[in-house]
Amino acid sequence: MSGKNAKIGNAGTIDPARLHRALNPRTVAVVGDKGPNYNWITNLKEFTGKVFSVQLDEKELPGILERGVPNFRSLVDIPEDIDLVICAVPRQVTPFIMKDAVAKGVGGISMFTSGFAETGEEIGVKLQQMIYDTCAENGMPLVGPNCMGIYNRRLGVKFTGAQEQGEGGEVGIVSQSGTHGIAMTIGSQRLGVKVTRAISIGNAVVLNEADYLEYMLNDPDVRVISMYLEGVRNGRKFFEVLKKATRQKPVIIWRGGRSRAGARAVRSHTGSLASDDAIWSALVKQAGAISVDTLEDAIDTIAALVLAPATPKRNLALVAMTGGQSVAITDQFERAGFEVPELSKKSYDILGEFFVTIGGSYRNPFDASSTIGRETDNLAKILEVLANERAIDGGVAFELGSRGFEDGSERMDQMLDLLRKYRDTTGLPVVALMPDGGVMGGDAEILVRARGYVSKAGFPVYPSFQRGAAALGRAAAYWTWRKEVGARPRAVKK
Amino acid sequence: MADVIASARAAGRTLLTEVESKELLHSAGIPVTRAKLAKKAKQAEEIAEEIGYPVVLKIVSPDIAHKSDVGGVAVGIDSAKALRKAFKEMMDRVQAAAPGARIEGISVQQMATPGTEVIVGATTDPQFGPVMMFGLGGVFVEVLKDVAFRVVPLEPRDARQMVREIRGFPILEGVRGGAAADLGALESLILRVSDFMSQHPEIAELDLNPVFAYPNGALAVDARVVLTEAAS
């Protein structure tokens, strides 16, 4: 979706207050929405502000009015101030809409219209330049073009119906692809994580990655930032803002695609080795961002960062339900850089009093199904031991069975209450692992339902030991980095 | 310093000679072996006196990329007599091996004691601007591409991590009785190159290859600087 051959520009004159107004609108004008679905008007069904329509095509009017939205022949005819224009007109009409938007003094524009520099056509490149110039001259914030625009949870501005409207928010998403922006939003919501806002940035002609990142950094309702990027428009600024952002909030970067700029002349050894990939991974590491390769990794990491308490500590208690699983879970967490330490003699003495050691073990990892498979008193005792155990400073990863869940959630609720109590008293992560094909898993459909139930209860849930270990590992690595840079502030050069 | 760049620009060159590259780097405080251009044998003698024997001779020609292929490198020259002989022989050899090549002279260089070979380089990324590279020299960089990158400007922690990030790092720590390299000296050299790149946007690429890493200190033995295309 990135715009190739476009004049790379960043209208550096955009006023932050005006950008804030555009991204948090109380009035929205949709220009050029069309039937049969009137997607943009429909996406605003839960919008808490006022919607207006601008459409000249007479045959679209009944559909628009039917949806309770007043229509005008031009932006300038609307009797109220407009904070955000959603522009969905054909590309050749955009110059007129831009002109009206400037005359009206709207807050900003989200431009869905495509067919600009990304096509490589001369007319597209020209029109894109016109958009840039108009915005630069007038300090007009513009999202896109060639994008899905903005999602704002609190206000109910959406670019797909499945995005939730409601209070609160934890995650900010910036995506060069509309699809991945939606997928990261929906994937997070499914885990019970509230996405504060998402921005699909398209060709990023006026506002670019660095601007959005900076905005998310300053948004108090965003705790974790997740980005999907293919390239950046202003690499130096992006690097600077990223370094600043990661010192305050975790920033996940999922990078897709490979460099466009292949054909530059290289006359040094260093130049010949400086692949796009090598530079990107160096940059992400250097700036302290979290690198992921897939959508699943991004969402898994969001869950770990939002739903587990922050800690750089890596000594875990691992609780599995069988001997084989206790080996597998240990392999995965050790591979992700965690330690699975032995417990104190005192802990072992207490555990020895009640733990069923025939077909079980409590050395850490725990092989626990015969001890906690049927009732939860023993689970309470185990978690109490772990809460008082000094060797465990990084929390618990727990294989959670869904067997019996089809008959009701009572047992699950009891277990989750105990795990929550452990988490809240110790302030340490609890990660729920509900692997496919686990012997305690029950059938597939129940397993999926049970996972959803556990994540809605506020725990990070993973469908394999490997994914859980990797996600918690990425979170721990980030908090370690934060501690390092925090503990050693930069020396001031004189 | 500006002179070196200006004269290369005036001559329409973006690739600096080794002598020019080293002069530039030396004035930026980056440890390089000293190298000076001699047009005649007599001048070479004076330079050798100043630098101190033993010295290395290298042919200087904008038309010759691989000096040793045409007999354009002579090492271990330890007296004025040996120098005069080597100078004449090199001129004859190179003219025979590369007829028509423009020869500016021969550079007389300090001969460095061998150390662990590493490469320190910089290039300009189309998105992120100046970036730096570090790796072990020879097959490690050529075949295994065991290198680490960072974006300029580097902070001390970046230089520290960069040196430790390569797989071959244990070699720098000293294996099989080999002496440990002076990591602090490598990090400081990397940081100086980072500063140099920050301050000189007219430099597009740079290779210090090899740099000798010693138990005490580090020294760039060969250097190649490439200017940006657009004269500014």
Tell me, yes or no, whether B49 lies in a domain. Answer: yes
Choose the closest CB to B149 out of A232, A278, A490: A278
Copy the structure tokens of residue A434.
């509900």
Residues B92 and B178 placed together within one structural domain of the fold = no
Q: Which residues of A touch B206 (CB under 8 A)?
A: 268, 270
pLDDT tens per residue across span A117-144 = 999 999 999 999 999 999 999 999 999 9
Which residues are within 8 A (CB) of A66 and not within 5 positions of it... i.e. 6 or more apart?
A: none
Give the torsion sign (CA, A224, A227, A232, A233). negative
Tell me, yes or no, whether A4 lies in a domain. Answer: no
Q: Which residues of A touch B147 (CB under 8 A)?
A: 273, 278
Residues A33 and A137 placed together within one structural domain of the fold = yes
Which residues are within 8 A (CB) of B75 and not within 5 positions of it... i.e. 6 or more apart?
A: B54, B56, B111
Q: Would an 8 Å CB–CB cutoff place A231 in contact with chain B?
A: yes
Nearest CA in chain A to B123: A271
Alpha-carbon gap, residue A106 to A303, rounded angstroms = 37
Picking from B76, B110, B144, the residue at the C-terminal end of a domain is B110
Residues A204 and A121 placed together within one structural domain of the fold = yes
Residues B78 and B174 placed together within one structural domain of the fold = no
Closest CA to A149 of A66, A89, A85: A85
**Which stretch of A277-286, B58-67, B104-113 has the lowest confidence by average pLDDT?**
B58-67
Q: Which residues of B touch A483 (CB under 8 A)?
A: none
The total number of structural domains that make up chain B:
2
What is the arithmetic mean of pLDDT over A402-415? 88
Q: Which residues of A touch B148 (CB under 8 A)?
A: 282
- Test A270 with B151 for CB contact under 8 angstroms: no
pLDDT tens per residue across span A212-249 = 999 999 999 999 999 999 989 999 999 999 999 999 99
Residues A330 and A228 placed together within one structural domain of the fold = no
Residues B53 and B96 placed together within one structural domain of the fold = yes
Q: Please give the pLDDT value at position A6.
A: 36
Residues A349 and A221 placed together within one structural domain of the fold = no
Q: Which residues of B touch A232 (CB under 8 A)?
A: 127
- List the CATH number of the domain containing A454: 3.40.50.261
A164 has a pLDDT exceeding 60 = yes
Q: Which residues of B touch A267 (CB under 8 A)?
A: 14-15, 204-205, 226
Q: Please give the pLDDT value at position A373.
A: 78
Residues A459 and A315 placed together within one structural domain of the fold = yes
Tell me, yes or no, whether A3 lies in a domain. Answer: no
Give the torsion sign (CA, A414, A418, A419, A420). positive
Residues A409 and A346 placed together within one structural domain of the fold = yes
- Test A269 with B121 for CB contact under 8 angstroms: yes
Picking from A263, A280, A303, the residue at the C-terminal end of a domain is A303
Alpha-carbon gap, residue A138 to A145, rounded angstroms = 17
Picking from A279, A303, A327, the residue at the C-terminal end of a domain is A303
Tell me if A313 sits within 8 A of A430, measured CB to CB.
no
**Which stretch of A389-403, A441-455, A456-470 has the lowest confidence by average pLDDT?**
A441-455
Tell me, yes or no, whether B141 lies in a domain. Answer: yes
Give the minimum alpha-carbon distance from B225 to chain A in angstroms, rounded to a whole number: 8
Tell me, yes or no, whether B27 lies in a domain. Answer: no
| Residue B39 structural domain | 34-110
Alpha-carbon gap, residue A269 to A232, rounded angstroms = 25
Identify which has the larger pLDDT, A154 or A493.
A154
Tell me, yes or no, whether B79 lies in a domain. Answer: yes
Tell me, yes or no, whether B147 lies in a domain. Answer: yes
**Which stretch of A251-260, A292-301, A406-415, B210-219 has the lowest confidence by average pLDDT?**
A251-260
Per-residue confidence band for B230, with pLDDT thresholds at 50, 70 and 90: low
Tell me, yes or no, whether A268 lies in a domain. Answer: yes
Tell me, yes or no, whether A467 lies in a domain. Answer: yes
- Test B224 with A236 for CB contact under 8 angstroms: no
Q: Would an 8 Å CB–CB cutoff place A123 in contact with chain B?
A: no
Tell me, yes or no, whether A24 lies in a domain. Answer: yes
Q: Please give the pLDDT value at position A88.
A: 97
Of all residues in chain B, the percent with pLDDT exceeding 70 is: 98
Per-residue confidence band for B64, with pLDDT thresholds at 50, 70 and 90: confident
Q: Would an 8 Å CB–CB cutoff place B149 in contact with chain A?
A: yes
Q: Would an 8 Å CB–CB cutoff place A271 in contact with chain B?
A: yes
Choose the closest CB to B205 out of A236, A270, A285: A270
Q: Which of B14, B16, B125, B194 would best serve as a mutation to test chain A binding (most A beta carbons within 10 A)?
A: B125
Tell me, yes or no, whether A6 lies in a domain. Answer: no
Picking from A283, A303, A323, the residue at the C-terminal end of a domain is A303
Give the minimum alpha-carbon distance from A285 to chain B in angstroms, rounded to a whole number: 9
Of all residues in chain A, the percent with pLDDT exceeding 70 is: 93
Tell me, yes or no, whether A11 lies in a domain. Answer: no
Q: Which of A270, A284, A480 would best serve as a mutation to test chain B binding (most B beta carbons within 10 A)?
A: A270
**Element spanning A229, H or E:** strand A224-229
A376 has a pLDDT exceeding 90 = no
Alpha-carbon gap, residue A124 to A114, rounded angstroms = 9
Identify which has the larger pLDDT, A99 or A260.
A99
Residues A121 and A263 placed together within one structural domain of the fold = yes
Give the bridge partners for B68, in sequence order.
none
What is the arithmetic mean of pLDDT over A369-377? 84
Residues B223 and B129 placed together within one structural domain of the fold = yes
Give the minimum alpha-carbon distance from A281 to chain B in angstroms, rounded to a whole number: 9
Per-residue confidence band for B178, with pLDDT thresholds at 50, 70 and 90: confident
Tell me, yes or no, whether A396 lies in a domain. Answer: yes
Give the minimum alpha-carbon distance from B205 to chain A in angstroms, rounded to a whole number: 6
Identify which has the larger pLDDT, A427 or B63.
A427
User: What is the ipTM for the molecules in this complex?
Assistant: 0.88
3-state secondary structure of A367: strand
- List the CATH number of the domain containing B52: 3.30.1490.20
Tell me, yes or no, whether B196 lies in a domain. Answer: yes
- Test A231 with B127 for CB contact under 8 angstroms: yes
Count the Cβ atoms, other than its own, within 10 Å of residue A375: 11
Q: Which residues of B touch A273 (CB under 8 A)?
A: 133, 141, 145, 147
Choose the closest CB to A274 out of B119, B133, B226: B133
Q: Where does residue B166 rank: exposed (0-12), middle (13-18), buried (19+ CB within 10 A)? A: buried
Q: Which of B119, B127, B145 would best serve as a mutation to test chain A binding (most A beta carbons within 10 A)?
A: B127
3-state secondary structure of A19: helix
Q: Would an 8 Å CB–CB cutoff place A278 in contact with chain B?
A: yes
Q: Which of B128, B143, B224 would best serve as a mutation to test chain A binding (most A beta carbons within 10 A)?
A: B128
Q: Please give the pLDDT value at position A1.
A: 36
Identify which has the larger pLDDT, A202 or B178.
A202
Residues B106 and B46 placed together within one structural domain of the fold = yes
Residues B223 and B187 placed together within one structural domain of the fold = yes
**Which stretch of A361-370, A434-443, B27-36 has the lowest confidence by average pLDDT?**
A434-443
- List the CATH number of the domain containing B159: 3.30.470.20
Residues A266 and A343 placed together within one structural domain of the fold = no
Q: What is the DSSP string of A452-469?
A: HHHHHTT--EESSHHHHH
Residues B177 and B136 placed together within one structural domain of the fold = yes
Picking from B61, B93, B110, the residue at the C-terminal end of a domain is B110
Residues A320 and A245 placed together within one structural domain of the fold = no
A494 has a pLDDT exceeding 80 = no
Cα distances (Å, whole numbers) of residue A415 to A373, A418, A429, A449, B3: 11, 5, 15, 16, 76
What is the arithmetic mean of pLDDT over B74-100? 94
Q: Please give the pLDDT value at position A401.
A: 83
The total number of structural domains that make up chain A:
2
A8 has a pLDDT exceeding 50 = no
3-state helix, strand, coil in chain A (%, to 5): 45, 15, 40
| Residue A36 structural domain | 16-303
Closest CA to A283 of A315, A224, A235, A326: A235
Count the Cβ atoms, other than its own, within 10 Å of residue A80: 10
Count Cβ–Cβ pairs < 8 Å, chain A vs chain B.
Answer: 81
Residues B39 and B88 placed together within one structural domain of the fold = yes
pLDDT tens per residue across span A22-31 = 999 999 999 9
Residues A334 and A228 placed together within one structural domain of the fold = no
What is the arithmetic mean of pLDDT over A88-117? 97
Residues A190 and A315 placed together within one structural domain of the fold = no
Residues B105 and B155 placed together within one structural domain of the fold = no
Tell me, yes or no, whether B71 lies in a domain. Answer: yes
Residues A60 and A163 placed together within one structural domain of the fold = yes
Q: Please give the pLDDT value at position B177.
A: 77
Picking from B110, B138, B171, the residue at the C-terminal end of a domain is B110
Closest CA to A481 of A282, A328, A337, A289: A289
Q: In this structure, what are the phi and psi dihedrals at residue A410, rounded to the nearest 5 degrees?
A: -60, -50
Alpha-carbon gap, residue A184 to A199, rounded angstroms = 11
Q: Please give the pLDDT value at position A493.
A: 41
